[in-house]
């Protein structure tokens, strides 16, 4: 039984066992709220349903990392012809194992496509977003950001993280600095081709190819972008999305099973 003290506040009487009797106040609270909490009633809330999620691209080790990051909310599997339409993560964290821009555009037509972007695939991701990818998150970002982006994509809401947007803006800025010819020289030279081969592929003289290299280096250096070595130029070519998957990983092996993509597209 409860009573009230001199200030009108409820207080609890002790029963003979020395325990506070608060059941009356609890019943009153339940009546006021309209229902009793699951914990008070001895019930536990039902666990959320685990959703299916398909992944394309990336290394097997990366797949394990995604499974761990989304454990408890999503069950992951590789994209196949039997994968129903829904959220698909394109793992672009490894430039050499990433799908091409055309493959990503094809996936974006049939699925809610989420891009897991690596530093070397910013340009590829930028193009994929323009061609229909719904969301993008950096592979370097916290797991919470990945979960947030996946939830937004599942709801059909476009969502790219602030970090990816900032990095993509840099890609657009650098592309805007370079002419079409300069970008082509960067693409070929960044793919480890000698200047003579670059000139032959472009149908220009070696002197002209060297002049394009000199110009693009001057433009980029003025913006504080490291371009003093051929390795620097290769890294930049990757970031801008100028290299094909075979050029990015040094192999002719396709990054994605094209037959599977054709079957998925019907």
Give 74-128 pLDDT, tens digit per residue. Answer: 999 999 888 898 999 999 988 778 888 899 999 999 999 999 998 888 888 988 9
- For the segment 12-33, the average pLDDT, to the nearest whole number, is 42
Q: Considering the chain, what is the average pLDDT of its residues? A: 79
- Residue 138 near residue 160 (C-beta atoms within 8 A): no
Please tell me the class of the 171-248 domain. mainly alpha
Q: Model pTM?
A: 0.66
Q: Parse the chain into domains and list their residue ranges.
A: 7-33, 51-170, 171-248
Beta strand spans in 31-86 (E): 51-56, 74-78
- Looking at residue 263, its pLDDT comes to 47
51-170 adopts what CATH topology?
Answer: Rossmann fold (3.40.50)
- Looking at residue 98, its pLDDT comes to 85
pLDDT tens string 232-263: 898 888 888 887 655 555 443 334 443 444 44
Picking from 171, 187, 186, the residue whose alpha carbon sits closest to that of residue 217 is 186
- Looking at residue 24, its pLDDT comes to 43
Q: How many degrees, rounded to 5, is the angle at CA 188 between CA 185 and CA 194?
A: 95
């Amino acid at each position: 039984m409860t009573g009230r003290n001199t200030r009108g506040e409820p207080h609890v009487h002790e029963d003979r066992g020395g325990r506070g009797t608060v059941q009356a106040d609890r019943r009153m609270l339940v009546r006021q709220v309209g229902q009793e909490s699951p914990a008070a009633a001895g019930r536990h809330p039902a666990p959320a349903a685990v959703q299916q999620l398909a992944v394309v691209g990336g290394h097997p080790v990366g797949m394990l990392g995604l499974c761990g990051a989304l454990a408890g909310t999503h069950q992951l599997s590789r994209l196949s012809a039997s994968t129903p339409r829904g959220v698909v993560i394109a793992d672009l964290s490894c430039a050499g194992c990433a799908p091409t821009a055309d493959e990503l555009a094809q996936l974006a037509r049939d699925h809610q496509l989420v891009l897991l972007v690596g530093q070397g695939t910013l340009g590829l991701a930028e193009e994929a977003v323009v061609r229909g990818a719904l969301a993008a998150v950096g592979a370097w970002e916290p797991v919470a950001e990945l979960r947030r982006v996946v939830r937004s994509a599942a709801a059909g809401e476009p969502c790219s993280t602030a970090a990816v947007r900032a990095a993509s803006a840099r890609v657009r800025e650098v592309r805007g600095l370079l002419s079409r010819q300069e970008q082509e020289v960067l693409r070929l030279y960044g793919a480890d081709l000698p200047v003579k081969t670059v000139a032959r592929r472009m149908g220009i003289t070696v002197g002209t190819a060297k002049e394009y290299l000199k110009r693009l280096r001057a433009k980029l250096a003025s913006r504080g972008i490291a371009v003093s070595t051929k390795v620097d130029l290769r890294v930049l070519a990757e970031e801008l999305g100028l290299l094909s998957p075979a050029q990015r990983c040094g192999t002719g092996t396709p990054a994605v099973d094209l037959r599977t993509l054709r079957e998925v597209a019907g």
